[in-house]
Amino acid sequence: MVLSSSMILSNSPFASPSLPTSTSAKLETFSLNYDGIIRIRGFTASSVTPRNRKLSTCSASRDGNASVETDAPFPADYSELLEQAKVAVNLAMKDNRQLMEIEFPTAGLGSVPGDGEGGIEMTESMQLIREFCDRFIIPEKVTRTRIFFPEANEVDFARQSVFSGSSLKLDYLTKPSFFEDFGFVEKVKMSDRVKTEDELFLVAYPYFNVNEILVVEELYKEAVLNTERKLIIFNGELDRIRSGYYPPFFYPKLGALTKTFLPMMETVYYIHNFKGRNGGTLFRCYPGPWKVLRRVGPRKYVCLHEQNSMPSLKEVALEILPSA
């Protein structure tokens, strides 16, 4: 896959505008052939298909003074999506947002959670993270950017495949332990992983194990809060926590995140699809409003509802879409 080149804004440090069935699955090989087979965390999948390139309509000026189209349309493809996400993150950083979320489906822009197999979705996310970084991070900031993957084995896979030859710092949240088959992993102390020169942390899909997002919270508290650093969670499936997928009685620490960690977060780019007779899409591109869309034709959507705050998925599915 051809990766896009970076763009630079003069007033910004960065370029401007279902759980798998078993938590004991492991990375079995690190080989990746773009015309062959990928095997990741015990799953086998066809390699990532190159996507068509199309420039986004969401853009920013090089001098930072011209107007920016903030009411972005629903993207036509992943290239446009990444361009919109890049602009959204830059605008959020200018507004001093430190903790940000990017969330969208990787099995297709119209897909829903579960449409793609877990291992394939992680591989897709890894590829898209690399493309996002190539667009977003200017060369002089590459070595000051640290990407955290869920576990140490995932870092090895990334270095030998998608991130081969990259100067980006690759790190991990957890590492396998002797008791991994029983759902236990060895916790990594975040303060020991961070270096003084780090400016941006990007956390890749921290949802494979419930401990991963707890380590992300630790990273935020120990290395981002009360500093100039920024943290972006990329496809963390945080809706599972927001919606109560993990019962607070059994997962009290995860439940506490809805009161302590998640309220601090700005969801800068978001796509969630709803299928069925009353299907639709919840979409947001910072700093624009939250929109509930419905597809009415090829690359054509109508807005059924919009609001400034994020509605719950239950509200969209049971109230907004049926009444539209």
Q: What is the pLDDT of residues 39-61, one digit of tens each?
A: 334 333 333 333 333 333 333 33
Beta pairing partners, 176: 185
Element containing residue 155 per DSSP (H, E): helix 152-159
Q: What is the pLDDT of residues 202-255, one digit of tens each?
A: 999 999 888 999 999 999 999 999 999 999 999 999 999 999 999 989 999 999
DSSP 8-state symbol, 149: E
What Rg, from alpha-carbon coordinates, does the chain have? 19
Q: What is the pLDDT of residues 93-152, one digit of tens each?
A: 999 999 999 999 999 999 988 787 767 888 999 999 999 999 999 999 999 999 999 999
The CA angle 234-166-218, to the nearest 5 degrees, is 40
What pLDDT does 67 receive? 40
What pLDDT does 28 receive? 32
pLDDT of residue 22 exceeding 80, the answer is: no
pLDDT of residue 62 exceeding 90, the answer is: no
Phi, psi torsion values for 96, nearest 5 degrees: 65, 30
Rounded Cα distance between 18 and 2, Å, is 29
Cis peptide before 287 (omega within 30 of 0): yes
Q: What is the pLDDT of residues 193-213, one digit of tens each?
A: 899 999 999 999 999 888 999
Taking domain 37-276, whether its CATH number is 3.40.50 is answered by yes
Within 52-108, residue ranges assigned H as helices are 78-94
Q: Given the DSSP bridges, would you call strands 290-297 and 185-187 parallel, antiparallel or unpaired?
A: unpaired
The full set of domain ranges for the chain reads 37-276
